Structure 1
Amino acid sequence: MKRSVTSKLRHILDKVASINCLERLKPNMILRDSQTSYWKHGTDEAILQEFDTLEVFLSCLDTLFHEERTIPIKVKLYDIHVLYVLEASAAIRLYDTNGHLISQQACGRGMYYYLPPGHYSLKIPAGKSQLFGYYFQSKTFRKKNKKPYVFLHDLLRARRTQLEEVVVSRDFKVGKRTWMYIHALCRGLKKRKLKNESFVFGIIHDLIDLSAEKISEEETKMSYDLKIAIQARKLLAMHIEEKGQETQINLLADDLKLDLDTVNRYHKQHFGKCLRELRTDLLLTRAQKELDKGVSPKNCAYELRYNSPEAFYHFFKDASGMTATQYLQRSKP
């Protein structure tokens, strides 16, 4: 396949003759029969392995940096790219030519990209990193072949129309099976062998199928987690409407038939707050509604089932930053 991407390591490192010139970096994975280059500048080191076939271009980049470094990337053709972050101390970040963030990809995650021709930059964190990727032509997914791959439809449409905007898939987990496929692919590469084409394409198809499976699994789990979080919000609001401050969040465990820690985790994951914070917000909202209806602060305290007006006044001040009286004065026209 024609080279479509150039990683401009020469902008930050010097090319050296062999791996013997490197002091600390050793590749965790070897692409058999690949074209390999070695790079070094000071204590920073990198190894780039590349292998091209008729329809797929493979690459593996190992880096060891003492601080975050930026590698310029040039894309020449309209292709679809896949990147697996196999090792990294922090997220790998990709930027467009204007410096706008395209993606953040954590260690152990994969992602598909449609990148139109142009200049990009890849920010790699300090420490040891390993990126494995490949790019391919969209004709792989002509006609019926693309139906099972819903997560790629936007990228394929962008490639077909040669859209001048970047399109990315959602990210997915790089698990043990993904590792096994990648290692099998790297071990089995054979330059200029006819059978190599079918071997490479077979494993690439397996990797794409596995990506579809992982994304589907995570979307299903995400939908379930979100559903539980939304139900928890609605149930807690109903309890507070009925029982006021006597409402305890442990009621949700019985309502949802789940342990409270799980419900709390799901809610914080999707809404950024724990259930105790949600209870405070809902209780404050109900108190404000009562005050807006003309209920006095004293009667509002009893309406929300506080043992004393003073306890309500203390809650309102802590939750809103003002007294109930100040709230009424501010809300007057």
Structure 2
Amino acid sequence: MQKSLFIALEEHYTPTSNTSALRHILGVQLMQIATPSYFQNEQGDEALLQEFDGFLSYLTTLHRYGQQRNSIKLRIERGDLHAFYVLESAEPILLIKDHQQFELHPKRGCYCYLPQGEYLLEFPKGHTQLFSFYFRGKMFRKNHERHFNFLHELVEAFRNKSESAVQSIDFRIGPRTRVMIGRLLEHLRFIDLDTELFLHRQILELLKLSKEKIFEEYEKVYDGSILALQVREEIRRSIAIDGHEFRLDELPLLFKKSQQYLGRVYKAVFGHSLTQCRKDFLLELAQENLLKLSNSTQAAYACGFNSIQQFDKFFKNASGMTPTDYLIKTLGE
């Protein structure tokens, strides 16, 4: 596919064909189908870059050694879906675009939708090994992505040509992933007529393995239905105590998982969002206090609202009627 990712190594390093001067990145596994490009600078930092232009995907391997942290410019000329596997690094690699910043953690992989634009890759000091590939989101024809929940937001961003980058949840790089990447680097051959078929098959297998890793780490280990029930109970309990003052962004600290992930698991079990869950429990509390106190103002403050106007607006939006109308209707029945 057409190259759309350009790493500006030349701004920090000098290309060299004399590899005898290199000390830190020799002896690494190379991609057999691509000629390696070596770089070094006066500070003793080194880099090795390999790229392969496949028909359906574009592969990149980057080895880097640096005595200090440094940032390398990255230019993307077309929005695509990117996979990043940090095979070796002392600390997270940072991917930065304008106000957005994503962390690529050591021994973990993730997927990103990256729109056209200028980026920075910030590397920690020491050895770094990054394997990545990108492919057109059109590979997922309509509904073909339904089995890859962690890619839904990325595929939608690609289809809508979003100007904002999106990152998936990440997953552990285990022995199976390393073997699969090693096999891919070793067995790609120019002389093999089945190279494109082999590459496409291996990329699909990496996608499937990513899905399996995410299931094992996020869903199988902590059963989704149990987690969803615990989240629902926590929202109910918190609304009963704090009323309107309770915020959903308190949940990640309690469950040690992102709000995005909690919301996805909850919706898969109950069919509606965390926001709707909060609204439903808050409406129940409001109705209960209205019937108990028979006074909108007292009910509003009992539910944690700052004003009767705020309470009236919420109640009308959630139930379709005003608090007064609800009292008249309920007490009159």
Aligned to 2:10: 10
Mapped to 1, the partners of 2:254 and 2:152 lie a distance apart of 31
Aligned to 2:323: none
Residue pairs, 1:30-45, within 5 angstroms: 30-41=30-41, 42-45=43-46
What is the SS of the residue equivalent to 2:71? strand
Mapped to 1, the partners of 2:156 and 2:221 lie a distance apart of 26
Relative to 1, partners in 2 of residues 1:138 and 1:269: Cα closer, same or farther, differing over 3 Å?
closer
Residue pairs, 1:152-301, within 5 angstroms: 152-191=151-190, 193-220=192-219, 223-224=222-223, 227=227, 269=256
Aligned to 1:52: 53
Relative to 1, partners in 2 of residues 1:125 and 1:74: Cα closer, same or farther, differing over 3 Å?
same
Residue pairs, 1:288-327, within 5 angstroms: none
What amino acid is the match of 1:162? Answer: K
TM-score normalized with structure 2 length: 0.66
Mapped to 1, the partners of 2:75 and 2:116 lie a distance apart of 8
Q: CA deviation at 1:145?
A: 2.7
What is the SS of the residue equivalent to 2:196? helix
What amino acid is the match of 1:207? Answer: L
Asked if 2 retains the 8 angstrom alpha-carbon contact of 1:27 and 1:62, the reply is no
Mapped to 2, the partners of 1:218 and 1:206 lie a distance apart of 18
What is the SS of the residue equivalent to 2:32? coil
Relative to 1, partners in 2 of residues 1:222 and 1:269: Cα closer, same or farther, differing over 3 Å?
farther
Q: CA deviation at 1:143?
A: 3.1
Mapped to 1, the partners of 2:132 and 2:55 lie a distance apart of 16
Residue pairs, 1:11-90, within 5 angstroms: 11-41=11-41, 42-90=43-91
Aligned to 2:266: none
Relative to 1, partners in 2 of residues 1:27 and 1:152: Cα closer, same or farther, differing over 3 Å?
farther
**Superposition RMSD in Å:** 2.6
Mapped to 2, the partners of 1:52 and 1:270 lie a distance apart of 37
Mapped to 1, the partners of 2:154 and 2:123 lie a distance apart of 25
1:129 maps to 2:151: no
Aligned to 1:309: none
Mapped to 1, the partners of 2:146 and 2:256 lie a distance apart of 31
Mapped to 1, the partners of 2:15 and 2:121 lie a distance apart of 19
Flag as ranges the 4+ runs of structure 1 deviating above 6 A.
none
Mapped to 2, the partners of 1:9 and 1:101 lie a distance apart of 22
Q: CA deviation at 1:267?
A: 6.7
Deviations 1:76-119 (A, max 9, x none): 111100000000011111100x2x34211211100101100100
Mapped to 2, the partners of 1:56 and 1:48 lie a distance apart of 17
What is the SS of the residue equivalent to 1:143? coil
Aligned to 1:102: 101
Q: CA deviation at 1:170?
A: 0.6
Mapped to 1, the partners of 2:257 and 2:154 lie a distance apart of 26
Mapped to 2, the partners of 1:186 and 1:222 lie a distance apart of 32
1:141 maps to 2:144: no
Structure 2: runs of 5 or more not aligned: 238-252, 259-333
What is the SS of the residue equivalent to 1:146? coil
Relative to 1, partners in 2 of residues 1:75 and 1:85: Cα closer, same or farther, differing over 3 Å?
same
Relative to 1, partners in 2 of residues 1:270 and 1:170: Cα closer, same or farther, differing over 3 Å?
closer
Mapped to 1, the partners of 2:86 and 2:257 lie a distance apart of 25
Structure 1: runs of 5 or more not aligned: 238-265, 272-333
Instruction: Name the % identity.
Output: 32
Mapped to 1, the partners of 2:113 and 2:36 lie a distance apart of 26
Q: CA deviation at 1:21?
A: 3.4
Q: Paired residues, what number?
A: 238
Structure whose alpha-carbon radius of gyration is higher = 1
Asked if 2 retains the 8 angstrom alpha-carbon contact of 1:64 and 1:126, the reply is yes
Relative to 1, partners in 2 of residues 1:199 and 1:13: Cα closer, same or farther, differing over 3 Å?
same
Mapped to 2, the partners of 1:158 and 1:35 lie a distance apart of 34
What is the SS of the residue equivalent to 1:145? coil
Mapped to 2, the partners of 1:126 and 1:27 lie a distance apart of 20
Mapped to 1, the partners of 2:193 and 2:151 lie a distance apart of 29
Q: CA deviation at 1:138?
A: 1.4
Relative to 1, partners in 2 of residues 1:196 and 1:10: Cα closer, same or farther, differing over 3 Å?
same
Q: Which moved more, 1:24-33 or 1:7-16?
A: 24-33
Q: CA deviation at 1:33?
A: 2.0
What amino acid is the match of 2:94? Answer: R
